[in-house]
Amino acid sequence: MAKNITPKEKDYSQWYLDVIRAAEMADYAPVRGCMVMRPTGYAIWEMVQKYFDDAFKETGHVNAAFPLLIPQSFLSKEAEHVEGFAPECAVVTHAGGEELEEPLIIRPTSETVIGHMYSKWVQSWRDLPILINQWCNVMRWEKRPRLFLRTSEFLWQEGHTAHATKEEAVEETLRMLEVYRQVMTDDLALPVIKGEKSEGERFPGADNTYTCETMMSDKKALQAGTSHFLGQNFAKAFDIQFQDKDGSMQYAYTTSWGVSTRLIGAIIMTHSDNDGLVLPPRIAPQKAVIVPISTSGEKLEKEIMPKAAELKASLCASLGGRFTTIDTNFHMRPGDRFFSHLQKGVPLRLELGEKEFAAERLRAVRRDTGGRIDIAWSDAATAVPALLDEIQKNLCGRALEFRRANTHRAESFEEFKEILEKEGGFVEAFFGGSKEEERAIKEVTGATPRCYPFENEGERGKCFYTGREGARKAIFAKAY
Amino acid sequence: MAKNITPKEKDYSQWYLDVIRAAEMADYAPVRGCMVMRPTGYAIWEMVQKYFDDAFKETGHVNAAFPLLIPQSFLSKEAEHVEGFAPECAVVTHAGGEELEEPLIIRPTSETVIGHMYSKWVQSWRDLPILINQWCNVMRWEKRPRLFLRTSEFLWQEGHTAHATKEEAVEETLRMLEVYRQVMTDDLALPVIKGEKSEGERFPGADNTYTCETMMSDKKALQAGTSHFLGQNFAKAFDIQFQDKDGSMQYAYTTSWGVSTRLIGAIIMTHSDNDGLVLPPRIAPQKAVIVPISTSGEKLEKEIMPKAAELKASLCASLGGRFTTIDTNFHMRPGDRFFSHLQKGVPLRLELGEKEFAAERLRAVRRDTGGRIDIAWSDAATAVPALLDEIQKNLCGRALEFRRANTHRAESFEEFKEILEKEGGFVEAFFGGSKEEERAIKEVTGATPRCYPFENEGERGKCFYTGREGARKAIFAKAY
Ligand SMILES: [Zn+2]
Ligand SMILES: [Zn+2]
């Protein structure tokens, strides 16, 4: 067990921070609540971005860049929206050496300013749909910051679309939720539950919010991404009107959807262990590291290093990128070298010592299981990618199993409380309560409705809290 | 000639804005001085980013993300730096519903906050070099904004490196300047001149600034990218110290280098014409557009469209991306469809009408020359990429020729003034003056020293302005 990492059983919060520090993923910035994403952490974000961005483009979306600063008055145009975001805003009052006439908000999200622009760009039904995404930074002032999970500034993508009909907008909202699910499951190895948010958890200004919820290794829930059907709320607030085919003027229907760097927190808390970071191979910027080892400088230089370079080139080619590196930290002991890669979550360590060299093979060590496999040099270009696929599958399967094992059903509030006290995890229960009742449950148990899951959506039953019949199935949990 | 575009000979500034508007590249944001990069403009930025980012990674750099907000006091730690940037700062005074104890600056550039972080990360010579880049938004309040060229918020990359020795840091500064030159010339088709900045044009806080300068089609200069050797200035201001191999404590040497979305302004002003945008194929997000044409709906549906789809797939495969589209604007007249692609700068239009269909070919029309070439379907996958390469080469060559034709030598201030008044363009002249003399020349002529070019660096002569002997060769021009 790593000395620089507090075991998660002892102190989960400290374990989380220790894993981040040991992998050099992030650091607090000098401004309270803000974060620096160090190269190891940022490279993961680049991988994550690539998968989502490809999926967005594959579904017909294009990227754009909207401004960082928003006039304060914009926020107030949508009543629920301003109520939700005003308390978290950072405000620019001076610029260019002068006091501004109107204070400017650093965007907490961009529905307002994008709504304003869309109203200029949309005239006719031919201008619709607009399918735009942006990757950017946003700011929501945070009193209790936590690296990746809650920081005053964070990086994210926000998709904003406008449509001629309600049907089309709802379809888009659900399409993007499914894109999220797919990338999260296939690439990030996060098995998520798709569902609809309850009234109390809805995005301020949305008619409906849909979510992908996932379980961390402390059994708490994390909202990994949300997709909002905004109805005509923002179209009316910002006057996004168009002339329809029949000549009549109509308000557009809009959607928005986002995932953020908090996904990196989710990856850490889903997969990592007491030795440090564990990364699913598909999002690992370094998928394999070759570790040449010898006490003989001559053997290293003349035999082992040239072979390592050759293997690296062949692996980079078969993996399609700069995904393999060679460890040249010869001033460190082999054990310490191994350990440094362990802590950075490199999925596969490929040891190349004198014994391996003589036998023309590599000794592969899996980060997820610690399992050791000998791979002949001649097989490496096919065996390594196959092994990485296996690790990917194992991590996702393990997380799914963990979630299933820690999901329980409750029929009454008594049972509900007992499960949360004794075991934690997800509680499945029929729920027919309102926003007020959500709040009451949270006050007693700390748990909130994470979603009404899409699976077996039609099922109805008696509400565990109010006793009302015809209630929908919900999942409750304590959440990040 | 396009009716929606003012000819550049008539009003160059208006022409520039008209080109941007016609191509839907950008729009002003509701906050004065800020810009929205619309999908057509942003997609070009994504292409530009890709080439630079690859080149940075190829030379051993990694990306990271530093915070948007910087404590006001940080700026003051480097005297020249604060003098240079304080007047342009946007200041956050309130956040989370409270007044802040210390105002925060939206980063105008990140030397200060990155210096602060490096001082925490660097202890020993083994921690060096640090080779980090970040892609982000920065803010410098702008009273006379101009899309892409001068906006209060802009997107850029800023590389920040720290080294154990001066030699290594200077080498890095020049390496990145060469990376800039290469990408600008090869990918953006901007033939740039590498050189050193004069004292008056140096980055605030740098020992030395190097630049890539390029000529716009109105003969004015544009600084396309700069690379700064910061000496130990920021290391001393932010205490970036390390224990050297001999055990002694040393200050690091740092560099920084950046290019921004202003490059898109440079691309527009270098290549475009009175019909609108012209894009070098390598940075065109849409390299070719197939335009199926027929008055017969049946022929379109049964013959022409399926063939267009087939050709598109084959071209996307041979071009390695979503670089070919099909125009389906059948409600528009063919001429208007052609025109819309012309205005968006698509390098190659591929017409597929009934005549072409019968002859099993495409009619290709080049955006750069208007030249028409018939291409057999069976040749398209090789002929189209070859044609795009030719267009790329032609645009770069044309720009180089234009710069050469508009560069003149001056031996005296009289000659200098005459050239600038009569012809404009670049003036080559030996210059041995100081910051004060630079200012005096600017006041009279509007021109500034763009750089001391690297080419024939050793040459010395008599200063055209002061008459001093032993002066270096400089290039002067009016600049954006
Ligand atoms: Zn149980
Ligand atoms: Zn001339």
Query: Secondary structure of B166-225 in the HEC alphabet?
Result: HHHHHHHHHHHHHHHHHHHHHCCCCCCEEEECCHHHCCCCCCEEEEEEEECCCCCEEEEE
Asked if the interface predicted TM-score (ipTM) of this complex is over 0.90, the answer is yes
Q: Which two tokens stand for residue B211?
A: 């630049």
Q: What is the C-alpha R_g of chain A?
A: 25
Q: Distance from B90 to chain A by nearest Cα, in Å?
A: 4
Using CB atoms, which residue from A57, A67, A142 is nearest to B36? A67
Start-to-end Cα distance in chain B: 27
Tell me whether residues B62 and A45 touch, CB distance under 8 A: no
Distance CA B400, CA A268 (A): 51
Q: Which long-range contacts (CB under 8 A, 24 or more apart) does B424-428 make?
A: B424/B218, B424/B219, B424/B220, B424/B477, B424/B478, B425/B215, B425/B219, B425/B477, B426/B215, B426/B219, B426/B221, B426/B450, B426/B475, B426/B476, B426/B477, B427/B475, B427/B476, B427/B477, B428/B473, B428/B474, B428/B475
Using CB atoms, which residue from A63, A96, A117 is nearest to B46? A63
* pLDDT tens, residue by residue, B314-355: 999 999 999 999 999 999 999 999 999 999 999 999 999 999
How large is the average pLDDT for residues B280-307?
Answer: 97
Chain B residues within 8 A of A94 when measuring between CB atoms = 90-91, 93, 103
* pLDDT tens, residue by residue, A283-315: 999 999 999 999 999 999 999 999 999 999 999
Confidence class of residue A171 from pLDDT cuts 50, 70 and 90? very high
Q: Which residue of B has its CA nearest to A58?
A: B322
Confidence class of residue B112 from pLDDT cuts 50, 70 and 90? very high
Q: Distance from A26 to chain B by nearest Cα, in Å?
A: 9
pLDDT at B348: 98
Query: Which of A246, A359, A253, A384 is closest to A307 using CA atoms?
Result: A359
Chain B residues within 8 A of A111 when measuring between CB atoms = none
Using CB atoms, which residue from B65, B120, B141 is nearest to A95? B141
Phi, psi for A321 (deg, rounded to 5): 165, 180
Tell me whether residues B91 and A88 touch, CB distance under 8 A: no
Task: State percent of chain A over pLDDT 90.
Answer: 95
Q: Using an 8 Å Cβ cutoff, are A41 and A307 in contact?
A: no
Ligand 2 centre to CA of B453 (Å) is 20
In sequence order, the β-bridge partners of residue B290 are: B326, B350
Tell me whether residues B97 and A116 touch, CB distance under 8 A: no
Tell me whether residues B94 and A90 touch, CB distance under 8 A: yes
- Mean pLDDT, rounded, of chain A: 96
Q: What is the C-alpha R_g of chain B?
A: 25
pLDDT at A32: 87
pLDDT at A77: 87
Using CB atoms, which residue from A46, A93, A152 is nearest to B93? A93
Chain B residues within 8 A of A65 when measuring between CB atoms = 36-37, 42, 45, 155
Chain A residues within 8 A of B70 when measuring between CB atoms = 30-31
Chain A residues within 8 A of B97 when measuring between CB atoms = 86-87, 141
Ligand 2 centre to CA of B403 (Å) is 11
Tell me whether residues B90 and A74 touch, CB distance under 8 A: no
Using CB atoms, which residue from A39, A68, A139 is nearest to B63? A39
Q: Which two tokens stand for residue B382?
A: 């090789």
Ligand 2 centre to CA of B428 (Å) is 13
In this structure, which CATH number among 3.30.110.30, 1.10.10.60, 3.80.30.20, 3.30.230.10 belongs to the domain A407-477? 3.30.110.30
* B-interface mutation test, from A27, A42, A332, most B Cβ less than 10 A away: A42
Chain A residues within 8 A of B88 when measuring between CB atoms = 96
* B-interface mutation test, from A21, A54, A68, most B Cβ less than 10 A away: A68
CATH number of A12-271: 3.30.930.10
pLDDT at A419: 97
How large is the average pLDDT for residues B284-306?
Answer: 97
Tell me whether residues A90 and B67 touch, CB distance under 8 A: no
Confidence class of residue A2 from pLDDT cuts 50, 70 and 90? confident
Task: State percent of chain B over pLDDT 70.
Answer: 100
* B-interface mutation test, from A47, A48, A56, A66, most B Cβ less than 10 A away: A66
User: Per-residue pLDDT for A76 more than 90?
Assistant: no
Confidence class of residue A1 from pLDDT cuts 50, 70 and 90? low
Query: Which of A197, A187, A195, A199 is closest to A212 using CA atoms?
Result: A195
Pick the ligand that lies closest to the CA of residue A405: 1
pLDDT at A364: 98
Q: Domain B286-385 is classified in which CATH homologous superfamily?
A: Anticodon-binding domain (3.40.50.800)
Q: Taking the alpha carbons of A243, A245, A248, A254 in that order, is the dihedral positive or negative?
A: negative
Tell me whether residues A94 and B94 touch, CB distance under 8 A: no
Chain B residues within 8 A of A141 when measuring between CB atoms = 95-97
User: Per-residue pLDDT for B270 more than 80?
Assistant: yes
Ligand 1 centre to CA of A426 (Å) is 10
User: Per-residue pLDDT for B76 more than 90?
Assistant: no
Q: Which residue of B has its CA nearest to A46?
A: B63
pLDDT at A96: 93
Q: Which residue of A has its CA nearest to B133?
A: A39
User: Per-residue pLDDT for B3 more than 90?
Assistant: no
Counted across chains A and B, CB pairs separated by less than 8 A come out at 160
Q: Using an 8 Å Cβ cutoff, are A127 and A121 in contact?
A: yes
Chain B residues within 8 A of A31 when measuring between CB atoms = 67, 69-71, 104
Tell me whether residues B95 and A141 touch, CB distance under 8 A: yes
Greater confidence (A86 vs B436) lies with B436
Q: Distance from A65 to chain B by nearest Cα, in Å?
A: 5
Domain boundaries, chain A: 12-271, 286-385, 407-477
Tell me whether residues A31 and B322 touch, CB distance under 8 A: no
Task: State percent of chain B over pLDDT 90.
Answer: 95
Tell me whether residues A67 and B132 touch, CB distance under 8 A: no
Q: Distance from A276 to chain B by nearest Cα, in Å?
A: 20
* pLDDT tens, residue by residue, A218-267: 999 999 999 999 999 999 999 999 999 999 999 999 999 999 999 999 99
Q: Which amino acid is at B44?
A: I
Pick the ligand that lies closest to the CA of residue B403: 2
Confidence class of residue B117 from pLDDT cuts 50, 70 and 90? very high
Q: Distance from B396 to chain A by nearest Cα, in Å?
A: 27
